[in-house]
Amino acid sequence: MKEFVVNVTDMETRIALLEDKRLAELTIERQESRSLVGNIYKGRVESVVPGIQAAFIDIGFEKNGFLYVSDIAGVEGTGDFVFEDGVVRPKTRRRRAKLLSIEKLLKKNQHIMVQVSKDRLGTKGVRLTNFITLPGRYVVLMPTVSQLGVSRKIESDSERDRLKKILQSVRPKGVGLITRTAGEGKSKGDFAGDAKYLSKVWNRTKARMESMKGPALLHEDLGPILRIVRDAFTGGVSKLTIDDEDEYSRILNFLDAFAPSLKKRCKLHRGNRPIFDKYGIEDEIEKALHRRVFLKSGGHICIDQTEALVAIDVNTGKFTGKSRLEETVSRTNLEAADEIARQVRLRDLGGIIVIDFIDMESQKNRRELMERLKKALKDDRAKTTVSEVSELGMIEMTRKRVKHNLVKALSQPCPYCEGGGLVRSVTTKTFDMLRQLQSLFCHCKEKALIVQVHPDVARRLRRENKDALDGLAAKFEREISIESVSDFHVHDVKVLSARTRKELRA
């Protein structure tokens, strides 16, 4: 059972997808960092870089967008296309990149129509494409190509043939159309209305391209709530509950035009209790920020994110099983596979993901684990590829990275450890401080000094390492007083002159 729960405030919009009452996906859009994906701009070529076969495009923001050669439409050799995650992609991307030359297609200061396919990630600008797509409820209009297509999630051959015939009959001249999954079982009239509306949007966008001086916004995609309603609120979703009356009215008006039968599944949350609190979503979000995730059996998984990849480790923990070791390991691995698939979606983990399952001797159990993981990943809208289980119980998989993952979206690097997750120990800082004093004594003639440190470091200097401190003072003929400062970080050290209380530096 799937349902959407939407929380709206002046500062941010949060959209949760629940599957069997558990949080499966979370979308967060804040006013200060709104998503640009789907927006169409008149851009100006700022620079062409042959070495990486790409161009940087000014679309009116501080950071230029990035356009790769294979994402430029309307040139010879474009070939076949697929529609992935709302973006048209050439099937022969690598081959196309070799055949075409970016410097022959684009020149500095040239104007070009582009669409944002991926938001900013870290220091990178937005990813752009020249393959324009205009999504509707049932079809996607592709004005830069002429192919017709049907969503790969529609598996019935007879239904696919029926939909292709409908697309041929309703297609506006000179454009391509792709049927969305929501179009399964819909009538020709539904598709005709969608195609007609999207044609008007495209004509309006073209007119703005000709009349406006670039860089400029030509077409803005729907906001996060209506985008979810358009793209994911289908017959397979039992309910959508929202806590904002204005947005609730907008959803009903949207569904009036595109899917009236779904209006009865929309509910307005009333009352003072926060909607995410009522559904237990806040607790689920808090858990998703933790490194360790516990399994029902007593085992757990640990998720570590690095620059290059995500490492996930499976442990039996407190679970010891009731019979053989192999059975205990197999049960833990199967339970972990389900939870890993859920956490990957929820945290929006991308790139290379390495999963260290507990080693199993039985080939049958390994096959069962692979099938379980692939089945659990089927509901993931992001594209994933999974390798076979290695002899050591490792599985490598990739998942398409589209936006910041949940941890990065809701947190920032620790100012003390700078994202490393570790700080130096009290012992290390004590020894460092003694070396720092020795270095200072070689340049400074002050006879009496005050050393201000974290309480734990101060305690160590007064007890375990008192002899070392006294020996250093005697060697250099100095007087040293230790002051404990409660609001110091363990890394903080200040050496002051006892006479002037001015800070001394080595």
Given this model, what pLDDT does residue 75 score? 46
Judge contact between 459 and 430, C-beta under 8 A: no
Quick one: which of 37, 57, 40, 117 has its CA closest to 83?
117
Quick one: which of 344, 398, 382, 352 has its CA closest to 84?
382
Rounded to whole angstroms, what are the CA distances from 197 to 137, 166, 170, 172? Answer: 11, 16, 12, 11
User: Tens digit of pLDDT for each residue in 127-145?
Assistant: 999 989 999 988 999 998 8
Cis omega before residue 50 (within 30°)? no
> Checking phi first, is residue 163 left (phi over 0); if not, alpha (psi -120 to 50) or beta?
alpha
| pLDDT of 416 higher than 80 | no
Share of the chain above pLDDT 90, in %: 56
Average pLDDT over residues 190-212: 92
224-232 helix and 245-258 helix, angle to the nearest 10 degrees: 40
User: Tens digit of pLDDT for each residue in 346-385?
Assistant: 999 988 999 999 888 888 988 999 999 999 998 888 889 9
Given this model, what pLDDT does residue 77 score? 37
Measure the CA–CA gap between 199 and 171, rounded to whole angstroms.
10
| pLDDT of 403 higher than 90 | no
> Checking phi first, is residue 111 left (phi over 0); if not, alpha (psi -120 to 50) or beta?
beta
User: Tens digit of pLDDT for each residue in 45-82?
Assistant: 999 999 888 999 999 998 999 999 888 875 433 344 45
The helix/strand/coil state of 209 is helix
Given this model, what pLDDT does residue 321 score? 54
First to last CA, the chain: 65
Position of tokens 């490393």? 420
Judge contact between 316 and 360, C-beta under 8 A: no
Mean pLDDT of the residues in the chain: 87
